[in-house]
């Protein structure tokens, strides 16, 4: 009879157990209340979760471990454990298992697996997990690593769900056994520890702890071992750093990763390592022109670029974008290949290379940031694919990706009201369950502001009810003043003291766009002007155009009929008089007949300052 009792949830007891077995085995499971696995997991396991990069790292670790001459002999027998006719007999035998034989038992389990019933196999996994935790204090570091590798071999997709995995992470990151070991052995164990810590991305509860553990481990050992690391060693450590979002600030590491990128040859199958390093460089905020030139060479070579998966091409595009490297020779081939795969995914023997929603999100952000010209047909293809993914439920758990896609399309000039409403509804529904996420929700706020300003007549009143997109007197938070590239307080004070100026206030007029402006109120109201300060970090490398969010802000202010003056760092060095800005910002009548697409050339920071002021009010619709 099924026991409707809380003990049915206790680990190792998913079903029909008698009271005696519960009492006997509870000695082993005193601190473990819930099972790591159930029969449902066994039935629904897929083989496509582990990933080829993890397989590459695991193979490398196996080879390095094999080089170690000290091998632990197997003293237990398969027949003592399997096949299982009585789970209680298995549990009794399990209690006799020595600590250094748990890894061998896990390997035996892989042999038993094809013949096991799902429910029995789930119990076996849970039992072994629990005994491994119990025996962990008796294990040396090498035994811990060997046991982890055995579990990785048995359940590569589920290893992070093990109680032993979480307990072993704490042990590896805090042990001091390596003090008497050779340098090579210490390095090998360090790399393996980083590898297992890097797997924790798939387990949210383990990831938070892993980040702290990895940070402590890196502080103790990274600089000691950095010079002795091979390329794959560095890739494993780098993978762990960005997968666990661990903060690292070591110049020597940044330089080493940059040098490794330049040595890679994707023609020899090193494309996965390249993408790993690019992810790491993005996470560490390392902007290297040398790496951009290396990636430019890959983009120019159609064969090299085609070797990469879509996600790899997007990662290259993203790194170039973060470096503001708006070279059309790079972006054009990537865009062409992306749409080719979007419309006709590459097919392999057992699967096709579909474009993931997060790849589509990143790609659109890159296009918007780099001011790439997408055709109306391409934009419609993107919209259709987004609706397909929305119907398939891909955005239910990741609504921010849909909001980002919609915002990027809006910046590119593609304003789909239906897509906008879908994005707002999806995000607001998720927001009610997840609570406030200020950093993430800011993109939603920007999208709502853009919609209210540029399409006020067709916006959804229910979704935007009570929302205010524009406030010319909105105060600026202190953190924005500290992080600005300009001394805004000094500039506002200086300009407020000039003749003809009533006040000069620091404001953020567009809700959600946290880029300060200086609002100059003249004695004559018709001479009021918003001064937009453009720094080098907000300017694309070659075209010298503003980045996406600045372009959107200027476009929205133009839609509100605001007088705008764009001032660069170079302009400020020339000691500009604010009178010139106030008096000339209104003088654009003679230029209103200009074609909208010609304004881009005039707004370039290389254009004389006063000419930019004259033209800024006729800012192009899709700039």
| Domain contains 612 | no
pLDDT at 336: 95
pLDDT at 593: 35
Residues 521 and 537 sit within 8 Å (Cβ to Cβ)? no
| Confidence bin at 60 (pLDDT 50/70/90) | confident
pLDDT at 258: 96
| Confidence bin at 344 (pLDDT 50/70/90) | confident
Q: Are residues 195 and 327 in the same domain?
A: no
For the chain, state the CA radius of gyration: 30
Q: Are residues 362 and 434 in the same domain?
A: no
Q: What is the pTM of this model?
A: 0.84
Residues 564 and 616 sit within 8 Å (Cβ to Cβ)? yes
Q: Of 304 and 5, which is predicted with more confidence? A: 304
Q: Are residues 485 and 558 in the same domain?
A: yes
The rounded Cα 268 to chain-centroid distance in angstroms is 27
Residue 617 sits at the vertex; the CA angle it makes with 612 and 622, to the nearest 5 degrees, is 95
Reply yes or no on whether the pLDDT at 591 is more than 50. no
Query: Which phi and psi (to 5°) does residue 77 adopt?
Result: -115, 145
**Distance in angstroms (rounded) separating the CA atoms of residues 584 and 575:** 16
SS3 content of the chain, % helix, strand, coil (to 5): 65, 5, 30
Q: Report the 10 Å Cβ neighbour count for 159.
A: 21
Q: Which of 367, 368, 443 is nearest to 398 (CA)?
A: 443
Q: Tens of pLDDT along 599-614?
A: 334 344 445 444 444 3
In this structure, the chain runs to a length of 623
Residues 449 and 512 sit within 8 Å (Cβ to Cβ)? yes
Q: Are residues 364 and 378 in the same domain?
A: no
Instruction: Select from 371, 393, 427 the last residue of a domain.
Output: 371
| Confidence bin at 234 (pLDDT 50/70/90) | very high
Reply yes or no on whether the pLDDT at 435 is more than 60. no
Find which of 75-84, 478-487, 491-500 is predicted with most confidence, using mean pLDDT. Answer: 75-84
Reply yes or no on whether the pLDDT at 589 is more than 80. no
Q: Are residues 438 and 338 in the same domain?
A: no
Q: Are residues 220 and 351 in the same domain?
A: no
| Confidence bin at 442 (pLDDT 50/70/90) | confident
Task: Supply 290's token pair.
Answer: 């040398």
Q: Which range is least confidently modeled, 502-506, 512-516, 592-596? A: 592-596
Q: Of 18 and 165, which is predicted with more confidence? A: 165
Q: How far is CA 172 from CA 128, 169, 216, 217, 219, in A?
A: 20, 5, 11, 9, 14
List, edge to edge, every strand of the sheet that includes 517-522. Answer: 501-507, 517-522, 529-534, 564-568
Reply yes or no on whether the pLDDT at 384 is more than 90. yes
Query: Which phi and psi (to 5°) does residue 203 adopt?
Result: -130, 110
Report helix, strand or coil for 525: helix
Query: Which phi and psi (to 5°) does residue 511 adopt?
Result: -60, 125
DSSP 523: S
Q: Are residues 358 and 403 in the same domain?
A: no
Residues 2 and 103 sit within 8 Å (Cβ to Cβ)? no
Q: Tens of pLDDT along 280-308?
A: 999 999 999 999 999 999 999 988 999 89
| Confidence bin at 366 (pLDDT 50/70/90) | very high
Mean model confidence pLDDT for the chain: 81
| Confidence bin at 237 (pLDDT 50/70/90) | very high
Give the 3-state secondary structure of 8-62: HHCCCCCCCCCHHHHHHHCCCCCCCCCCCCCHHHHHCCCCCCCCHHHHHHHHHHH
| Domain contains 328 | yes
| Confidence bin at 3 (pLDDT 50/70/90) | very low
Query: Is 150 exposed, middle or buried (CB count within 10 Å of its CB: 0-12, 13-18, 19+)?
Result: buried
Across the range 358-368, mean pLDDT stands at 96
| Domain contains 178 | yes
pLDDT at 50: 47
Q: Which domain holds residue 168?
A: 34-248
The rounded Cα 433 to chain-centroid distance in angstroms is 22
**Distance in angstroms (rounded) separating the CA atoms of residues 291 and 139:** 44
Reply yes or no on whether the pLDDT at 595 is more than 50. no
pLDDT at 226: 93
Q: Are residues 182 and 285 in the same domain?
A: no
| Confidence bin at 183 (pLDDT 50/70/90) | low
Task: Supply 300's token pair.
Answer: 């120019």
Q: Which range is least confidently modeled, 414-423, 463-472, 612-621? A: 612-621
| Domain contains 289 | yes
Q: Of 365 and 584, which is predicted with more confidence? A: 365
Residues 541 and 325 sit within 8 Å (Cβ to Cβ)? yes
| Confidence bin at 459 (pLDDT 50/70/90) | low
What percentage of the chain has pLDDT greater than the value 70?
Answer: 78
Reply yes or no on whether the pLDDT at 428 is more than 70. yes
Q: Cis link prior to 83 (omega < 30° from 0)?
A: yes
The separation between the first and the last C-alpha atoms of the chain, rounded to the nearest angstrom, is 71
Q: Are residues 53 and 86 in the same domain?
A: yes
Q: Are residues 497 and 451 in the same domain?
A: no
DSSP 60-127: HHHHHHHH-S--PPP-S-GGGT-S-S-HHHHHHHHTT--GGGHHHHHHHHHHHGGGS-HHHHHHHHHH
Reply yes or no on whether the pLDDT at 497 is more than 70. yes
Q: Which of 272, 364, 325, 358 is nearest to 539 (CA)?
A: 325
DSSP 218-279: HHHHHHHHGGG--HHHHHHHHHHHHHTT-----HHHHHHHHHHHHH--GGGT-HHHHHHHHH
Q: Tens of pLDDT along 565-582?
A: 888 888 887 777 777 676
Residue in this structure with the two tokens 């865009």, named with its chain if needed: 335
Report helix, strand or coil for 156: coil
Q: Which of 271, 279, 281 is nearest to 309 (CA)?
A: 271
Q: Are residues 495 and 448 in the same domain?
A: no
Q: Which range is least confidently modeled, 33-42, 157-166, 524-533? A: 33-42
Across the range 392-421, mean pLDDT stands at 91
Q: Are residues 425 and 337 in the same domain?
A: no
* 11 CB-side CA count, 13 A: 25
Report helix, strand or coil for 526: helix
pLDDT at 233: 94
Reply yes or no on whether the pLDDT at 594 is more than 60. no
**Distance in angstroms (rounded) separating the CA atoms of residues 163 and 35:** 9
The rounded Cα 562 to chain-centroid distance in angstroms is 36
* Alpha helical stretches, state H, 435-487: 438-454, 478-483
* 610 CB-side CA count, 13 A: 9
pLDDT at 409: 96
The rounded Cα 239 to chain-centroid distance in angstroms is 12
Q: Tens of pLDDT along 120-161?
A: 888 999 999 999 999 999 999 889 999 999 999 898 888 888
Q: Which range is least confidently modeled, 76-80, 91-95, 138-142, 438-442? A: 438-442
* Number of domains forming the structure of the chain: 4
Long-range contacts of range 387-396, CB-CB < 8 Å, 24 or more positions apart? 387/419, 387/422, 389/357, 389/360, 390/422, 390/426, 394/357, 395/357, 395/426, 396/426, 396/430
Please enumerate in sequence order all residues whose Cβ is within 8 A of that of 417, keeping only pairs 6 or more positions apart, or say none. Answer: 455, 458, 459
Across the range 465-494, mean pLDDT stands at 86
Q: Report the 10 Å Cβ neighbour count for 226.
A: 16
Reply yes or no on whether the pLDDT at 540 is more than 70. yes
| CATH number, domain containing residue 525 | 3.40.1350
Query: Which phi and psi (to 5°) does residue 532 adopt?
Result: -100, 120
pLDDT at 278: 97
| Domain contains 472 | no
| Confidence bin at 54 (pLDDT 50/70/90) | confident
| Domain contains 1 | no
pLDDT at 449: 92
| Domain contains 185 | yes
The H or E element containing residue 518 is strand 517-522
Q: Of 354 and 240, which is predicted with more confidence? A: 240
| Domain contains 231 | yes
């Amino acid at each position: 009879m099924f026991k409707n009792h809380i003990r049915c949830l206790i680990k190792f007891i998913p079903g029909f157990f008698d009271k005696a077995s519960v009492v006997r085995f509870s000695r082993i499971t005193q601190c473990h209340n819930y099972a790591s696995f159930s029969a449902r997991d066994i039935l629904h396991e897929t083989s496509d979760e582990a990933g080829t990069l993890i397989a590459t790292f695991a193979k490398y670790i196996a080879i390095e471990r094999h080089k170690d001459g000290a091998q632990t002999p197997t003293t237990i027998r398969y027949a003592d454990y399997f096949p299982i006719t009585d789970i209680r007999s298995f549990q009794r035998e399990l209690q006799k298992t020595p600590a250094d034989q748990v890894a061998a038992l896990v390997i035996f389990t892989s042999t038993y697996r094809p013949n096991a019933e799902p429910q029995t196999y789930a119990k076996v996994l849970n039992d072994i997990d629990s005994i491994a935790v119990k025996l962990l204090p008796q294990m040396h570091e090498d035994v811990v690593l060997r046991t982890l590798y055995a579990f990785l071999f048995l359940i590569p997709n589920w290893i992070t769900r093990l109680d032993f995995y979480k307990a072993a992470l704490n042990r590896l990151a805090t042990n001091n056994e390596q003090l008497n070991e050779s340098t090579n052995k210490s390095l090998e164990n360090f790399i393996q520890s980083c590898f297992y810590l890097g797997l924790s991305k798939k387990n949210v509860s383990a990831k938070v702890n892993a980040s702290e553990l990895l940070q402590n481990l890196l502080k103790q050992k990274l600089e000691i071992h950095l010079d002795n690391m091979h390329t794959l060693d560095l890739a494993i450590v780098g993978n762990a750093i960005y997968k666990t979002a661990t903060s690292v600030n070591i110049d020597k590491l940044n330089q080493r990763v940059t040098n490794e990128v330049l040595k890679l040859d994707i023609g020899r199958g090193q494309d996965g390592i390249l993408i790993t390093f690019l992810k790491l460089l993005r996470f560490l905020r390392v902007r290297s022109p040398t790496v951009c030139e290396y990636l430019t060479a890959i983009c120019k070579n159609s064969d090299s670029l085609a070797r990469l998966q879509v996600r790899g091409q997007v990662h290259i595009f993203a790194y170039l974008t973060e470096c503001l490297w708006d070279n059309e020779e790079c972006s054009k081939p990537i865009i062409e290949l992306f749409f080719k795969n979007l419309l006709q995914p590459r097919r392999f023997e057992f699967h096709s290379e579909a474009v993931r929603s997060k790849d589509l999100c990143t790609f659109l952000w890159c296009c918007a940031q780099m001011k790439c010209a997408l055709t109306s047909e391409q934009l419609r293809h993107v919209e259709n694919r987004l609706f397909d993914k929305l119907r398939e439920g891909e955005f239910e758990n990741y609504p921010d990706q849909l909001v980002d896609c919609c915002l990027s399309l809006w910046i590119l000039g593609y304003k789909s009201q239906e897509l906008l409403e879908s994005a707002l509804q999806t995000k607001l529904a998720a927001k009610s369950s997840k609570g406030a996420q200020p950093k993430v929700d800011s993109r939603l706020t920007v999208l709502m502001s853009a919609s209210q300003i540029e399409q006020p007549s067709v916006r959804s009143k229910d979704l935007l009810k009570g929302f205010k997109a524009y406030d010319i007197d909105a105060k600026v938070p202190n953190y924005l003043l500290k992080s600005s590239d300009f001394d805004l307080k000094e500039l506002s004070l200086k300009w407020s003291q000039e003749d003809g100026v009533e006040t000069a206030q620091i404001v953020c007029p567009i809700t959600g766009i946290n880029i300060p402006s200086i609002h100059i109120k003249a004695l004559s109201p018709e001479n009021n002007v918003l001064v937009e300060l453009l720094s080098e970090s907000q300017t694309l490398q070659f075209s010298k155009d503003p980045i996406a969010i600045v372009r959107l802000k200027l476009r929205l202010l133009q839609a509100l009929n605001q007088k705008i003056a764009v001032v660069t760092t170079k302009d400020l060095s020339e000691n500009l008089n604010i009178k010139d800005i106030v008096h000339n910002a209104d003088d654009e009548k003679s230029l209103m007949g200009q074609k909208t697409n010609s304004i881009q050339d005039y707004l370039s920071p290389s254009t004389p300052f006063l000419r930019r002021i004259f033209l800024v009010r006729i800012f192009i619709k899709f700039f």
